[in-house]
Chain A
Amino acid sequence: MKALYNQPKLELQTPEGMEFSLPLAGPVSRLLALWIDLAVVMVAGAMIQRALGVLAAVSADAAQGLMTVMYFVVSLLYGILCEWLWQGQTVGKRMMGIRVMDRDGLPIHVSQIVVRNLLRPVDMLPMFYLVGGMVALASRYGQRVGDKAANTVVVYSRQVEPPDWQKLLAGKFNSMLEHPHLAARLRQRVSPELAGVALDALVRRDQLDDGARVELFRELAERLRQMVEFPAEAVEALSDEQYVRNTVEILYRSR
């Protein structure tokens, strides 16, 4: 099933010229984080109300006044304090594995935290975050109004675990290299032009759509198979693309 929402990425370049990208948080994760945060604020409000129940026995007016102020302060400062202390995360964002970052991929500064939270009422207009939601959906980086003012983005912050090294290496076993005399014959027979085309196909693999890629590797593999015949046990499990990959490795690998 094709996803309705294609996850955009924030493409960045370090001063050393290295390019990398950060996956931007999707609307569903952000909405769920928001609901969790609203629930936290409501629970905090209920706890304050309970705590002030003692004061109400002395002065109902003072207790109600304090409750109004405390609830306002909690709802205003909750986001600011959490994002400040947890480097761009609130309870909801932590649970959803997302984080607020500077638009340049850096940790956010306290002034950015304050401004993006102060502008929340504008995002909430006219109700249910309609303005913020529409602006974020239209924004290239999913920024609501507060994010645009503060120059911030919300990204996924889940740590990527190291790859399974064994799996990574297992796929790289080149069964054709088990037959060095056939590999040598392949080096002799494949023209530099064909070798270049095969290499180019591998390098540009992601730029091809699925159908074109399958067709290209099928044709290349067919031509390469005709040049040298490897034993069936060495090549029978290989896909066309893997066959080309193994061949390119034989052709370009330093002996």
Chain B
Amino acid sequence: MILDIQRFLQSAKPIWKELGELLDYLEQDPDPQWDLNQTEKFYRLYQQTSAHLSEVRHLTAERELRGYLEQLVARSYARIYVRRAEKNRARWWQWFTAAFPAAVRRHSMALALSVGLFLLGCVFGAAALKIDPSSKTALLPFGHGQTSPTARVKKEMEDRGKRISQARGRFSAQLMTHNTQVAFFTLGLGMTFGLGTIILLFYNGVILGAVAVDYVSDGQAVFLMGWILPHGSVEIPAILLAGQAGLVLGHALIGWGNRLPRRLRLRAVLPDLVTMAGGVALLLVWAGIIESFFSQYHEPVVPYALKIAFGVVELCALALFLARGGANEGAV
């Protein structure tokens, strides 16, 4: 077909102009209160312009016109086929108390694997230090490898929390931001087909296992529990949940047992990943506050029994929250 471009432009220009104006309006207000007639008009203009694009597609000399029409069609398409967010958005509180635990439960296999890898790391770290005590400096970070647990306990008892009380705010902030970065990084490494996440989970387990053996061997098991449990009962599960999210991401990439294309598999898990990441971040804020303002105070300032009991209660509450949260609201 040889197009009479003059006649074509004469009839089509008003349609393109009107569609362009509607698109400008829609891009300012993505959710306009349009009635059926307005919506139908928009869709009709889009269809007409699509047809015009089809007509000029073979007019090689009309690159400029084609580009203009392609953009009109692309902008219309993005407005017509947009995936709208659900209108009944959960409230923040409801999101944390119901959607977050429900998302965790939906991927219980990944959580089990995350816990398993961490425990395996613990066993490895404990065994490594037991078999070769000289590996302590290599295994333990943050200067723990340079001193004996008994010496540290003595120092903490003499200090009576004075050192930390001068920098609680800064210490708490550093813990929160550092732990959140580690957690998100653990999640993000799911993009290495889960391999990076597996390594980080295992490595964190190795550190905890080695620290535990170091303190228990030195007769400081009670101090260790009093030190770790108040914040660790939330911080460690938070890292495990981040690992779970990373494994979910890795699984979506690999696609075992799922024949959908990769991008659809990834798209399916995105909302849960976001929910889990948000939940983990909140847990780590809590853990950061507890670690700075409570965990670092030892006897005689705070009795170990109280700290251990606090940690156990937290752990039980967290387990109950993740197991039951939102179950009655149909969020599972």
As a 0/1 sequence over residues 165 to 198 of chain B, the CB contacts with chain A under 8 angstroms (1 = contact) are 0111111111011001100110111110000100
Report whether over half of chain B's contact residues are helix, strand or loop; otherwise say mixed: helix
Q: Which of B4, B169, B189 has the most CB of A within 10 A?
A: B169
- Contact between A64 and B173 (Cβ–Cβ < 8 Å)? yes
A115 B270 Cβ-Cβ under 8 A = yes
**Contact across chains for A165 and B60 when beta carbons are under 8 A apart:** no
Interfacial chain B residues near A106, Cβ < 8 Å: 77-78, 81-83
A121-B184, A149-B266, A168-B64 given as contacts; is B54 within 8 A of A18 (CB)? yes
User: Among the listed A64, A101, A145, A171, which residue makes an inter-chain contact with B169, where contact means beta carbons less than 8 Å apart?
Assistant: A64
Whether A163 contacts B270 in the complex (CB less than 8 A), given A22-B74, A121-B188, A252-B2, comes out as no
**At the interface, yes or no: B316 with Cβ under 8 Å from chain A?**
no
Could you tell me the distance between the alpha carbons of A101 and B81 in the complex, rounded to whole angstroms?
Answer: 13
Q: With A and B bound together, what is the CA distance between A101 and B71 in angstroms?
A: 14
**B50 and A18: CB pair below 8 A?**
yes
Complex CA–CA separation, A163 to B50 (angstroms): 17
Category for how many chain A residues contact B: 35 or more
Residues in chain A near residue B123, CB distance under 8 A: none
Q: How far is the CA of A165 from the CA of B74 in the complex (A)?
A: 21
Query: Contact: B185 with A122, CB < 8 Å?
Result: yes
- Rounded to whole Å, the gap between the CB of A57 and the closest CB of chain B is 15
Question: Within 8 Å of chain B (Cβ to Cβ): is A103?
Answer: yes
Q: Check B191 against A148 for contact (C-beta < 8 Å).
A: yes
A160 touches B67 (CB 8 A): yes
Closest B residue to A121 by beta carbon equals B185
Q: B73 an interface residue at 8 Å Cβ cutoff?
A: yes
Decide yes or no whether A191 CB sits under 8 A from chain B.
no
Report the Cα distance A161→B166, complex, angstroms. 61
A68 and B177 contact, Cβ closer than 8 Å, known pairs A62-B169, A111-B273: yes
Asked if A179 is an interface residue, CB under 8 A from chain B, the answer is no
Tell me which residues across on chain B come within 8 A of A12, comparing CB atoms: 74, 77
Pair A14/B50 contact, Cβ less than 8 Å: yes
Q: Are B191 and A16 in contact (CB under 8 A)?
A: no
CB distance from A24 to the nearest CB of B (A): 13
In whole angstroms, how far apart are the Cα atoms of A205 and B168 in the complex? Answer: 73
Residue B112 is within 8 A (CB to CB) of chain A in the complex: no
Partner of B170, one of A68, A150, A151: A68
A168 and B263 form a contact (CB under 8 A): no
User: Are B267 and A151 within 8 A (Cβ)?
Assistant: yes
Q: Is B36 at the interface (CB under 8 A from chain A)? A: no
| A246→B190 CA distance, assembly (Å) | 60
Question: Which residues from chain A contact B25 at a C-beta distance below 8 Å?
Answer: none
Knowing A15-B81, A18-B50, A163-B64, say if A105 contacts B74 (CB, 8 Å): yes
Taking the closest CB of chain A, its distance from the CB of B221, in whole angstroms, is: 32
Cβ of B68: which chain A residues have Cβ within 8 Å of it? 160-163
CB of A109 within 8 A of chain B? yes
Asked if B218 is an interface residue, CB under 8 A from chain A, the answer is: no
Inter-chain contacts of B314 with A (CB < 8 A): none
Residues on A with beta carbons closer than 8 Å to the beta carbon of B173: 64-69
Q: 1/0 contact trace for B261-272 toward A, CB 8 Å?
A: 001001100110
> CA–CA, A110 to B60, complex, Å?
39
List 14 other contacts, CB 8 Å, given A14-B50, A65-B172, A69-B177.
A18-B73, A59-B169, A68-B177, A109-B85, A112-B270, A114-B278, A118-B184, A148-B266, A160-B68, A160-B70, A172-B6, A203-B60, A206-B60, A252-B1
